[in-house]
Amino acid sequence: MKRENVNEQSKIRNPKSKICLINGDGVGQEVIPAAAEVLGALGLGLEFVEAQAGFEYFEQSGNAIPDATLAAVEACGVALFGATSSPSTFVKGYRSPILALRKAFDLYANLRPVQSLPGKFSRPRLNLLIVRENTEGLYAGRERLEDDTAIAERVITRAGSTRIVKMAFEQARKRSAISGQPSMVTIVHKANVLKVTDGLFRECALQVAKDYPEIAVREMLVDAMAMRLVRDPENFDVIVTTNLFGDILSDEASALIGGLGVAPSANIGEQAAVFEPVHGSAPDIAGQGVANPIGAILSAAMLLDHRGQGGQADRVRRAVDEIVKQGVLPRDLGGTATTKEVTRAVVTNL
């Protein structure tokens, strides 16, 4: 199957060729160096700027993401982010670094492609893109306790909904240009129950759709979508939805192609973009040298797409396909290769 550039831009946005690297916690410290090694091996003269964030850094410094890291992301314009550990209980002074980055740079679009890999662990013929709203919804951070009642506010705005759906249709247009096939956008919501919030999202989405008459549109309720992702995911192209629904559906979709270890993502804003594997810090396997670096490496390929270097991004994706065909697989995909062995094999296949 032809693997494609999901976010190719017409020009290179970052002439300085600098990329900020934020390893974070746990396996982030293993998979980001792996992705950087692959980027370095392309011979593009890329320069890496390392920056700190995460729970470990918070415990040393009292700050989960220092201003110096935000400044480095701003200066580079693009960053590769591993993962950080976030405790499930409240820790005074701690804020999730990825949420802080999304907020600081208004990284409103989370692109999560799900493309088949040529291994037995992956379902065939999948090539879909989940476009998740990244700044509002149930992640707006408006939670409170009133006596024994906990309340979360779900924030949906006209501006936020319109721009994420536009992004989805623009992505659909690009995918269609690359594949030569017609594209389809599925708008996923729960407007039958969340009549006000998802009612607004749906209204905005259908309005945007009118500007893209060449792209087919359909609506699906999120629970039905969850079922269809398991039953016939090959019948979907671009899926656009609100923040929490997109988070859940994209983890579900990653299971179709081998799980969290292989799933890449991009957080896109107007001024900056942060690329990260979908997985978290995986404390259960961290430090053992067995983390799967493919999600991080494919995230680096998305970074190249974003810089307008789609040809180089394809080189990386083809090398990943090759090692999968050769059976150089990490533990989560049923193999025995270490993080370093997988990475070296990708570099050899570039």
Catalytic residue check, 139? yes
Summarize the chain as % helix, strand, coil (round to 5).
Answer: 45, 20, 35
223 catalytic residue (yes or no): yes
Q: Which of 25, 247, 305, 332 is catalytic?
A: 247
Selection from ligand NAI, Mg ion, none that 233 binds (CB < 5 to 8 A by kind) is none
> Which stretches of the chain bind ligand NAI, using CB under 6 A?
27, 31, 83-86, 98, 260-261, 276, 279-285, 291-292, 295, 332
Binding-site partner at residue 69 among ligand NAI, Mg ion, none, CB < 5 to 8 Å by type: none
Contact 26, 286 (CB under 8 A): yes
* Tokens of residue 202, six digits: 């749906």
Tell me how crowded residue 288 is: count the other CB atoms within 10 A of its CB: 13
d(CA 227, CA 232): 9
For ligand NAI, the closer CB: 187 or 249:
249
Please give the C-alpha separations between residue 81 and each of 36, 49, 241, 257, in angstroms, as whole numbers. Answer: 11, 12, 23, 22
CB of 289 to ligand NAI, least distance (A): 11
The residue (of 247 and 321) whose beta carbon lies closer to Mg ion is 247
Task: Give the span between the Cα atoms of 321 and 339, in whole angstroms.
Answer: 16
Strand partners for 150: 145
Residue 314 bears catalytic tag? no
Catalytic site residue 251? Answer: yes
> Of 61 and 179, which has the nearer Cβ to ligand NAI?
61
Among the listed residues 30, 18, 6, the one whose alpha carbon sits nearest the alpha carbon of residue 277: 30
d(CA 342, CA 77): 28
Question: Taking CB within 5 to 8 Å according to partner kind, which of Mg ion, ligand NAI, none is near residue 247?
Answer: Mg ion
Nearest partner of 269 among 92, 161, 134, 107, judged by Cα: 107
Q: Give 207's Cβ-side CA count (13 Å radius).
A: 12
| Bridging pattern class, strands 143-146 and 18-24 | unpaired
Is 108 assigned a catalytic role?
no
What is the contact surface with Mg ion in residues (CB under 5 A)?
247
Smallest distance, ligand NAI to C-beta of residue 191, A: 28
| Ordered DSSP codes for 257-320 | GT-GGG-EEEEE-SS-EEEEESS---TTTTTTT----HHHHHHHHHHHHHTT-HHHHHHHHHHH
In the bound complex, what is the minimum distance in angstroms from residue 251's beta carbon to Mg ion? Answer: 5
Report the alpha-carbon distance of residue 289 to residue 47 in Å, rounded: 25
Q: Which does 335 bind (CB under 5 to 8 A by kind): Mg ion, ligand NAI, none?
A: none
Task: Choose the catalytic residue: 139, 174, 305, 332.
Answer: 139
Q: How far is the CB of 134 from Mg ion (least distance, A)?
A: 12
Task: Pick between residue 25 and residue 321 the one whose CB is nearest to Mg ion.
Answer: 25
Looking at 94, 166, 174, 190, which residue is catalytic?
190
Catalytic residues, by residue number, are: 139, 190, 223, 247, 251
